[in-house]
Structure 1
Amino acid sequence: QTPSGTRDTLAAGYWSNISSFIFDYEWRHFSFDGDAGTVVGSTKHRPGQDSYFPGVVFYSNLRFSWKATRLVEPFFALDWQNVTGTYNHSRHRYVDNSSSREVAPGVGIMFNINRRFSFTARYTHSVEGRNVPESNAYYVKFVYLWP
């Protein structure tokens, strides 16, 4: 990711690298898929302000599903993230309460309309969180695979 942009809320002000391992295991009646990864950023420098090294993000999003029929696939999901503390280089210390963690299980159902089109509905609710807004969300996903 690049640090450029016209708004601070959209442009982090530092470079970061997002690396993920993505997997998908398919069996006759079940599937297990997800990702695991990290986000590592560079030190944020702004003229006249302290320099900060953002916390390193570790995450995983897992899904275990049962292929009930060709059309219907209910699943359990688990999302996890952990962020190490932000380090203030100018003051040589970590920023108070800047590390965070969340564990959020969920349930959902995927409808495989045909080989190229699917629709998924999911609900996720956090069971543990520290220094982060806890998840309590509904998600909807439409996927179209073109040849």
Structure 2
Amino acid sequence: MQTLHTPFRRLLAATALAGLGATVAPAVFAQTTFDVIGPHEYELPVDFKPFNVFVQYGYVQNNKDTFNANGDKVKGDGSQTIVGMSKYVRFWTPEGNPKIGLAYEVIVPEIGVRNQHAANAADRHISGIGDPLTGFAVWMKPSPESTFGFQSFLQVPVGDDRVSDTNWKNLSSFLWDVRLTDKLGWTADAGMVFQSEKKDGSRPGNTFHTNHRLGYRVTGLLEPFIALDYESTSSRNNQPSARVLDGGVGVMFHTFDNQSISLRYSSSIDGKNHAANNSVNIKYAYVW
């Protein structure tokens, strides 16, 4: 594994603890849980001086298809969802054990939904601040080329009425990263989403999710990668079970030591009782 300069290692950490795209808006137009992660997402440092990170995520999702109960793709409502997520993270290591890394973060989503086919004119353009999230992560490095950790977030239902999911959520997952060679790396996570009862009296089932990114650093600037995302939600209170498998391709631009930009297109491969992903995703990270 190549030795990384400190600012760049911080930039890799800046992209961590991120993927909350499936929970920032009501499930009817949600993406797959944690699908915003990118290459190096969990290649995190230990024994470092505290630093700060700002990350801006954004995606545009076209809801032209959905999966029915038989797993077939059928026509969706034709709406378009535009989501931004502004995140601040503080990274540090405990004085008593510098071999462990810690992070705490706050995420504020901005949501817009356009549906020109809605019967009610008031429903043709919905926008507002979504339910904010806050949480922590802890990790260690079993070897210089690997990272293993745990993260947990709480989503608070205080967003604008038109875009809030109206219930509490806990998102907890294990995370890992392995540098397979000096150019090839695998970063991934696996975890659960637990939800409380919504205002309408319904309570979604528990969701298992896992996300994987395999990136290859072809030059100092460019790192193409492939993405695989999966989630499965159990049935509860007469609500059917649901699942989806997404694949994607993207590229990460290592623009500066303390900044990066990632672009990705994602599409659903298989699913059941779930919206079909058809999205363009962007991420900008800045470290100081």
State the shift of 1:136 in Å: 1.0
**1:1-147 maps to which residues of 2 (within 5 A)?**
1-4=155-158, 7=161, 9-12=163-166, 14-26=167-179, 27-44=181-198, 51-87=201-237, 94-95=238-239, 98-146=240-288
SS state at 2:256 partner: coil
Structure-2 separation of matches of 1:2 and 1:120: 28
User: Which structure has greater helix proportion?
Assistant: 2
Q: Which amino acid aligns with 1:2?
A: V
Give the 3 Å change call, closer, same or farther, for CA 139–15 of structure 1 in structure 2: closer
Change in Cα spacing, 1:104 to 1:6, as seen in structure 2 (3 Å) is closer
What one-letter code is carried by the residue in structure 2 that aligns with 1:145?
V
Is residue 4–residue 11 contact of structure 1 (8 Å, CA) maintained in 2?
no
**Residue segments in structure 2 that go unaligned for 5+ positions in a row:** 1-154
Deviations 1:21-47 (A, max 9, x none): 222223301111122211112345x5x
Q: What is the TM-score of this pair, normalised by structure 1?
A: 0.79
**1:81-113 deviation line (CA, Å, top 9, x unaligned):** 1111132xxxxxx33xx3211101111111111
Aligned Cα RMSD in Å?
2.0
Q: Unmatched 5+ residue regions in structure 1?
A: 88-93
Identity %: 34
Deviation for aligned residue 1:6:
5.8
Alpha-carbon contact 1:55-1:83 (below 8 Å) kept: yes
Count, aligned residues: 133
